[in-house]
Amino acid sequence: MTDFPAIFNFDDSNSDTGGKSAAFYRLPSPNGDTFFHKPSGRYSDGLVVLDFLAEKLGLPFLSVYLNSMGTNFRHGANFANGWSTIQPLDARIFEGGFSPIYLDIQLLQFEQFKARTEELYIEGASSYIRNFQAVETLSQHGARAFWIHNMGPIGWLPYTIVYNPPKPGNMDKNGCIMSHNEVAQEFNRQLKDRVVSQLRLRLTDAVFTYVDIYSVKFTLISEAKKHGFTDRLGYCCGHYGEDYRLQCGKKGIVNGSEVFGAKCSNPSNYISWDGIHYSHAANQWVANKIIEGSFSNPPISITQAYHL
């Protein structure tokens, strides 16, 4: 148990706990089946990393801002929305299936949430610039402890490997697409050096914990069997081929026949749940590494961050 009173989360499908389901359509089973035994709005068979972090801090799972049913914002709110982006959507991005609830919209939702909360109490640019703006906006509203997670190894995603098979010389020992991972690593270097370091200089009354999610996840991928994951590059739910995409929990036509995107019988053996997102078991492993702080800068546990 710590002294953190609340968590406010801004992100995409990696930590969406029901935002896209509330705004657009409910994610179908078998999403959520391992932990909730029903769809939960999460792109996983169970919990996402954010859920495990909230549990560690002694807080309930975050209520989704857009969810009108059974919400409790006493301990924070989740503004994440599946397939959202940092940059505003244009027609091309929207047609690609991305959510119109991008980062700036999530910030506007937070500002409206805070304003309405205060009313109730009284009555009873570029990606880097946008990162700055988002954090400074939250700081102006009283936020003081920030966890900034970098980009994971996108060259490992099974979905990506299916549709972008690595060419000779562009595959590492884990089967990942090296050039994709190099892009993620360069982004992470600039995020740390150009964004986080400047935020620490400009907002001296706030604490910034930079979490190296890339290294956490790459360690898990590299040591998959050691940690009980027997299928490093496979995925549990749905199916992707050269000329078809059968998403988890949905029906599609494959070779002239209607097929359902069912789950495997042993989700805990897989790092990937649906070719893009992580399984409940993998999320738990990743969350434990975040909690202990060995991949964080400064290298402190999540429970110590408040006391800084």
Q: What are the residue numbers of the active site? A: 13, 274, 277
Helices (H) and strands (E) in the chain, counts: 10, 11
Alpha carbons within 13 angstroms on the beta-carbon side of residue 196 total 22
Peptide bond into 298 cis (omega under 30): yes
CB 234 within 8 A of CB 158: yes
Strand partners, 7: 76
**Which H/E stretch holds residue 76?**
strand 76-78
Q: Which residues contact 276 (CB under 8 A, 6 or more apart)?
A: 13, 43, 157, 158, 159
Sign of dihedral through CA atoms 54, 296, 267, 179?
positive
